[in-house]
Amino acid sequence: MTSWPSPERLWEAVAETLEADILPALSGPTHATALQLTGLVRYAAARGSDPRPARAAVLAGQMGLTPPVTWAEAAACASDLLVADRRPGGGTLRRSSADALRRDLRAFVEEDLRTAGPLLDTFARHGSSSVAEQSSRPDEVVALRSWFSRTLGQALESFDVRVISGGHSRRMLDVTAGAGTSAGRFVVRVEQGGVFATEGSSEAEVMRALAEAGFPVAPVRWVERDPSVLGWPFFVMERIEGEHDADLRALSGFAAQLDRLHRLDVEILASCFAERPETPEEGVRMAIDRWERAYRSASAARVPLLDDAAEWLRSHLTPTGPLCVVHGDPGPGNFIHRHGEVAAVTDWEFAHIGDAAEDWVYLATLRGVRVMGEEAWKSWLRNEVGVDFEPEVFRAWTVFNLFKGACANLTAGAVFESGASSGPNLLAIGTALHSRMLLRLSEMIEG
């Protein structure tokens, strides 16, 4: 062998070929996936060796641990110290040590965010929900055609499956199934190994209960729990036609529907959850515990800044009203409208019984940021639906939503690493997006 190109050069060649020769020839979800692949290979070329051993040594020195110390050991000790520091009687010496640890940990996250920059860039440029011109994978089409034929109880004369781009918690497929002169249009939501610590059968139950209460959701037709059909469980709902992009008129209609959701009787979801809170205070506690459990189940080691935030939330997050039905991910992109009228609110995987502030603050600080800034949202919500929170209350629920997002995003990285899904969007969510939320979260509770 006359040469031995470095791994970095090999990855660079892949990225250059994707950008110069492949991306210009593609469109729709295939273009979006190839675009994300360029981010993945540039990330692979730039990230270098695993930084965790060196970081463990830094933390060990801060905490007086005797080396050698693994990253998991150092992270666990750092988590314990930060949690203790948040509790009464932490002490001046421990506070000084804890603050130094927080600075080091934030520096690690900043480094991770810089390294994952190519992933974040291509993720941000991924298109919004749309139906592709391309069909689904051939094996998926065959399996779904057979399933629809059995479920509908008739032979299908026409059948088409196309990918819907833009979703992350579920793989989404647009299906047209025809027999005789009639044809049905459906959306199939397929699980992806537990992304965001959610599963489809509960989501379908919530949607059915809301439909019975007269709330605008897509009618759920079938739930398939057997993973042998497509590799994962899925459910099927009727396709609702309309627009996803929202102007202020459509947002006004959506805000009215979200306010209506919060006023529904929570008993309509009584059978949808194995556990549910009995009081607003218990709702707050259960929400924090839920996402702490989700991150712990997805991460091989503790994440000290998440444990720090969970403890901060336990002493700062308070209810703002009675228990209500919470969407969990409300805003532009997660509802369909026709001429400004809401036809269906979508994406119910985060739904639960909790506090309405979670939804309103999430809309203003996360999902709605491309429409207007935080202060503009506060004014708009005050005028539209009379929603207004004191600054410290708004801050605490902002911290919670960042905590929820950072914890949920770790599950996407775990699914990618396990091989359950190779979508580069999941790697971007589990690394770059997680780091961005974690950094902002930690900065908001500093001091």
pLDDT in tens, 107-127: 999 999 999 999 988 886 544
Whole-angstrom distance, CA of residue 428 vs CA of residue 115? 11
Instruction: Look at residues 285, 267, 288, 306 and name the one whose alpha carbon lies nearest to residue 400.
Output: 288
CATH of domain 248-444: 3.90.1200.10
Half-sphere exposure of residue 370: CA atoms within 13 angstroms, side-chain side: 9
Per-residue pLDDT, 177: 94
446: its two tokens: 């500093």
- Strand segments, DSSP code E, in 91-139 are 130-135
Contact by Cβ (8 Å): 129, 334: no
Half-sphere exposure of 304 (CA within 13 A, CB side): 30
User: Which tens digit of pLDDT belongs to each residue from 376-425?
Assistant: 999 999 999 999 999 999 999 999 999 999 999 999 999 999 988 888 88
Structure tokens that stand for 8 in this block? 């970095």
> What average pLDDT does the segment 336-358 reach?
96
Strands 220-224 and 170-179: unpaired
Q: What is the reported pLDDT for 166?
A: 66
Q: In the chain, pLDDT over 90 holds for what percent of residues?
A: 74
Question: CA 181, 182, 183 angle in degrees (round to 5)?
Answer: 130
In whole angstroms, give the CA distance from residue 227 to residue 209.
Answer: 24
Taking the model in full, what pTM does it have? 0.94
What is the bridge-based pairing of β-strands 158-165 and 130-135? Answer: antiparallel
DSSP state of 136: -
130-238: CATH topology: Phosphorylase Kinase; domain 1 (3.30.200)
Euclidean distance between CA atoms 59 and 75, whole angstroms: 8
DSSP tally for the chain: helices H, then strands E: 16, 10
Q: Count CB atoms within 10 A of the CB of residue 264.
A: 16
- H-state helical runs in 227-332: 248-263, 280-298, 304-316
- What residues have CB less than 8 Å from 394, skipping those under 6 apart? 361, 378
Q: What is the mean pLDDT of the chain?
A: 92
- Report whether pLDDT(430) > 50: yes
Helices 71-86, 92-115: crossing angle, 10 deg rounding: 130
pLDDT tops 70 at residue 327: yes
Q: Which of helix, strand or coil describes residue 97? A: helix
Say what the pLDDT of residue 126 is.
Answer: 45
- Is the pLDDT confidence value at 176 over 70? yes
- Looking at the DSSP bridge assignments, the partners of residue 172 are 164, 189
pLDDT for res 133: 47
Nearest alpha-carbon partner for 101 in 69, 67, 66, 55 = 55
Residues 137-156 pLDDT 10s: 889 999 999 999 999 998 99
Whether 230 and 143 have beta carbons less than 8 Å apart is answered as yes
Q: What is the DSSP letter of 24?
A: G
- Segment 2-10 shows an average pLDDT of 83
